[in-house]
Amino acid sequence: MNTSLSTPSNVKVEVLRNQADGCWTGWVADMEVIKNVMRKTMPENYMESYPRNRATTLNTWLSRFGLYSNGMFFELDRAGSKMVKEMVKRSQTPRGFLVRIDGSRDGHKLKVKSITELSKTQPSIDFDDVRYSQSRMRGEFAKMGI
């Protein structure tokens, strides 16, 4: 459903997003694994260790993928499942796939527009700051005679 807003110059601008559109960040796995993990106390621990070889050997036409995000489970549509399988094939990560999914939500199902794999490491480390901190620590230890 598109709505239009009026601007001060009385020019109409279309808003292209519906209320169901959005992005979700979480862990992906096939629905069989998700159904087994749903009732676990810490499902993110299982999702983080989802093996790459399981994802690449599944027949995507028979098995769908899902997303665990903020304590909720979502099933991906067929196109989204194919995108996940292709992403996993290209990924350098052996276990656990943290992703951002853009699309629209219909209940507990997501219609996927795009998938981006996210890094599980710290995004930015200032190495100059790390070296400076280490040299200060060495100086402090030297003052203490250690």
14 has pLDDT over 50 = no
Of 34-38, 82-86, 141-145, the range with the lowest mean pLDDT is: 141-145
Q: Give me the mean pLDDT over the 87-93 stretch.
A: 89
**Residue ranges of the domains in the chain?**
21-117
Question: Helix (H, G, I), strand (E, B), or coil: what is residue 102?
Answer: strand
Gap between the Cα atoms of 114 and 83, Å rounded:
8
Tell me the whole-structure pTM to 2 decimals: 0.67
Contact assessment for residue 106 and residue 20, using Cβ atoms and an 8 Å cutoff: yes
